[in-house]
């Protein structure tokens, strides 16, 4: 028995690593991290056309200077790709979250404005400051909503991730 003692610690460590790696889940769907490109590629969007078990349950709760803002139309869901990351960094100054006057977003120029990704964009109605998306594949998305409190509209943008068929709550 004492002959096994020198091997006991490495075996225990190996067993611990093996059990942890068995619990880890492999990433599902694209996660582009910091990758950006000004070149449109339809292949980068292909994953977003699939159906899946994930969903987004969203609401708008944006306030500024004591005023509550409300949705002014539909909420747009755009797949995250190297192209949209580059585009949104240019338009919103962020790829995570933004709240900017619509006039500022419209005034910014993006490279390759002809890159037509509209067919990959999903829209949902925003009623009573609530919106939802069903049947989504795993991946990363930009949620964009235009809101107003009677004055100049504000565009809200937030990046969200769907994984494992879960319902993702989003508050803009």
- Is there a contact between 147 and 99 (Cβ–Cβ < 8 Å)? no
Which of the 8 DSSP states describes residue 39? Answer: S
Does residue 156 register a pLDDT over 80? yes
- Per DSSP, the three-state class of 102 is helix
- Spatial distance between the Cα atoms of 172 and 165, rounded to a whole number of angstroms: 21
Please give the pLDDT value at position 38.
Answer: 78
Q: Count Cβ atoms within 10 A of the Cβ of residue 151 and give its class: 0-12 exposed, 13-18 middle, 19 or more buried.
A: exposed
Is the pTM here over 0.85, yes or no? no
Q: How many CB atoms lie within 10 A of CB 50?
A: 12
Hunting for tokens 């009677």 — which residue is that? 150
| φ and ψ at residue 92, rounded to 5 degrees | -110, -10
- Sheet order of strands, 97-101 included: 97-101, 154-162, 139-148, 70-79, 122-125
pLDDT in tens, 110-145: 766 556 888 899 999 999 999 999 999 999 999 999
- The average pLDDT across 57-69 equals 94
Pairing of strands 167-171, 54-59: parallel
The upper half-sphere exposure of residue 3, i.e. CA atoms within 13 Å in the direction of its Cβ, equals 0
Kindly report the average pLDDT of the chain as a whole number: 82
Residue 32's pLDDT band, with cuts at 50, 70 and 90, is low
């Amino acid at each position: 028995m004492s002959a096994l003692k020198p091997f006991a610690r490495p075996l225990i460590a190996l067993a611990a690593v093996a059990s942890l790696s068995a619990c880890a889940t492999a990433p599902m769907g694209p996660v582009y991290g910091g990758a950006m490109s000004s070149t449109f590629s339809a292949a980068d969007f292909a994953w977003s056309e699939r159906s899946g078990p994930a969903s987004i349950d969203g609401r708008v709760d944006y306030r500024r200077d004591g005023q509550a803002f409300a949705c002014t139309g539909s909420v747009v869901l755009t797949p995250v790709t190297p192209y949209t990351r580059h585009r949104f960094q240019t338009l919103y100054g962020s790829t995570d979250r933004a709240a900017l006057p619509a006039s500022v977003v419209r005034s910014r120029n993006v490279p390759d404005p002809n890159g037509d990704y509209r067919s990959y964009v999903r829209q949902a109605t925003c009623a009573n400051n609530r919106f939802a998306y069903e049947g989504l594949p795993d991946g990363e998305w930009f949620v964009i909503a235009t809101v107003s409190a009677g004055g100049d509209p504000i565009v809200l943008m937030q990046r969200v991730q769907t994984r494992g068929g879960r319902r993702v709550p989003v508050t803009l």
